[in-house]
Chains A and B, each alone.
Chain A
Amino acid sequence: MILLCGIPTESPLALVAQELAALGHPFAVFHQRRWAEYGLEGAVRDGCVTGRLRLGPLKVALEEVRGVYTRLMDDRRLPDVEGRPAGDPWSARCRALHAALAGWTEVMPGRVVNRAAPQGSNASKPYQAQLIARHGLAVPRTLVTNDPEAVLDFRRRHGRVIFKSISGVRSIVRELHDDDLRRLERIRWCPVQFQEHVEGFDVRVHCVGGEVHACAVASEAVDYRYAVHQVGTPAVLEPYALDGDLATRCLALTDALGLELSGIDLRLDGDGRAWCFEVNPSPAFSYYEHHTGLPIARAIARHLAAA
């Protein structure tokens, strides 16, 4: 049995469900909007996890679940929970269920795409960059500082410089222009991340179950996800054949970070060097699959079914 967790109409979850159905593999869905109809009762005893998950009328023995694909949203943002006062019993029950589910997915012996612990590195980009560099991929020179003079010096050294959030929140990449320097003093309140701009073209790599699915992204935008907003035209995506060594390094990096599925953001420069910006542990791969036809959902479904 495979368990899919999230909102079933969300594209990545819907695509994986479709592929599991095509494989004829049994699966159940934890429909997050219906959390109030659900319950989880389990125990850790003698190093084993036992119990059951109640999904409305359906009861699933935890021991029978061999794989989990999770795309859960922040349960505090669910429509029937958000805005309720602190201590509200409805919200507390929702939180307790999600905490139990999260706790179980961290300790269940099957395959979880992805567990929460290894996803954590993505919550700090410079922290993750240190891990990436240790595993054989180049990372752009990055400065985090609250010192405006240090930023000006960094810009003198590197020419074009971008800035972006340190955490995964409000993660939009922007170039540092002369106009921005007028408000540089504001960084004294909270350090900001600046990064050298790397010339080249973007390649998005999805790794799952030993498979590598890569696509090239052509765009003039600093952040191609916001290409329409930044340059007025959408990015163009097409499948890309990654060379064997780079594919191997992407798989090794995914494994080293403890991930079953990764979305790796690379930029290949004029010398053919691969620069890694980020490893996304919960990639919205459907955007890339829709534009390129890469069979990423099928690879995820096969990986889960093989658990």
Chain B
Amino acid sequence: MRLLLHDPVDASARWLRDGLRARGVDLEAVSSAELLRARRWHHEVGTDGASVAIALVDGRTIPSAEVRGAVNRLTAVPPLSGPVAGDDREYAAQELHAFWLSWLAALPGPMLNRPTPYSLCGLWLDGAQWTLRAARAGLPCGPLTLGDAAQVPPPAAGDTAQAPPLGPTAWLVVACGAVFGTPEAAPLAPGCTALARDVGAELLGVGLAPGPDGDLRFATATTLPDLRPAGAPLLDLLARRLA
């Protein structure tokens, strides 16, 4: 069994589900809403390893012993329903996040992407951290301001050195070491794979934007990229990775 774990609204997940099943992958797609309503959770941890067994309300069961791999696009635990109110609701949310982090980490086989404490679908970094990591990976980067907004004056007109980074105009998707995306960004592919390796992400979206000279440079990155533009070659690769 292979898992596709996703938020309820995730067009890339639907595209992945259909594409991978069409390629013969034995795929169970499970949304965060379905996980939240699961009838039974059983997660054990010990010196010899960890396991999880989930019984969903629709009758499906997911024992970790049968899981051979997963695509993990869960961003967060949905808000808890039921008789929980006030401070208890915030407490329950933290408990559930801690729990989901642990059972996700207990799933065997390749997982794209592995959870991290601050984000269920891979490393979460702020702008400065992404920029620093991207620069170290060899990607061209623009300057990035690091400061409390109340203290930093707005940039003067025409002062490109002080301007905040532009939003991305092009995206590359790094998947299992391969790069998919716009041909004009091909020279940045090695830097993008190095960045994905550095942050431990098998799936990474790298946003690029033109600098003052018109050349593309790093703008942002995400461990939850839109995969659809990468098309059939990406589906073929992921089907092989999960085989």
- How many residues on the A side are at the interface (Cβ–Cβ under 8 A)? 53
Q: A residues within 8 A CB of B96?
A: 190-191
Among A41-49, A64-72, A245-253, A288-296, the stretch in contact with B: A41-49
A40, B149: Cα distance in complex, Å: 9
The yes or no answer to B15 lying at the interface (CB within 8 A) is no
Q: What 3 pairs across the A-B complex have the smallest Cβ distances? A: A120-B117, A47-B135, A124-B98
Task: Report 19 cross-chain contacts, Cβ distance below 8 Å, ordered by A residue.
Answer: A39-B148, A39-B151, A44-B141, A44-B144, A51-B146, A93-B150, A107-B129, A120-B117, A124-B99, A124-B101, A130-B45, A140-B46, A141-B46, A143-B42, A144-B43, A145-B40, A146-B38, A147-B41, A166-B98
A3 CB to nearest chain B CB (Å): 15
A124, B118: Cα distance in complex, Å: 11
Report if A104-B146 is in contact (Cβ < 8 Å); known contacts: A127-B98, A170-B91.
Answer: yes
A170, B48: Cα distance in complex, Å: 28
Q: B residues within 8 A CB of A170?
A: 91
Query: In the complex the two chains form, is A166's CB within 8 Å of B99's CB?
Result: yes
A81 CB to nearest chain B CB (Å): 14
A54, B147: Cα distance in complex, Å: 11
For the complex, would chain B's binding face be called helix, strand, loop or mixed by DSSP majority?
mixed
Within 8 A of A (CB), among B87-117: 91-92, 94-99, 101-103, 105-106, 116-117
Q: B residues within 8 A CB of A104?
A: 128, 146
Partner pick for B132 among A54, A107, A126, A142, CB 8 A cutoff: A107
B71 CB to nearest chain A CB (Å): 20
Report if A133-B46 is in contact (Cβ < 8 Å); known contacts: A40-B146, A40-B147, A42-B147.
Answer: yes
Query: B residues within 8 Å of A by Cβ?
Result: 38, 40-50, 80, 82-84, 91-92, 94-99, 101-103, 105-106, 116-118, 126-129, 131-132, 135-136, 141, 143-152
Query: In the complex the two chains form, is A141's CB within 8 Å of B147's CB?
Result: no
B40 CB to nearest chain A CB (Å): 5
Having A41-B152, A103-B129, A126-B45, one finds 17 other A-B pairs with CB under 8 Å, namely A44-B131, A45-B144, A92-B150, A93-B148, A97-B148, A103-B128, A106-B129, A123-B97, A127-B101, A130-B45, A130-B50, A130-B102, A133-B45, A141-B46, A166-B99, A190-B80, A191-B99
For the complex, would chain A's binding face be called helix, strand, loop or mixed by DSSP majority?
mixed
Within 8 A of B (CB), among A128-142: 129-130, 133, 138-142
The yes or no answer to A18 lying at the interface (CB within 8 A) is no
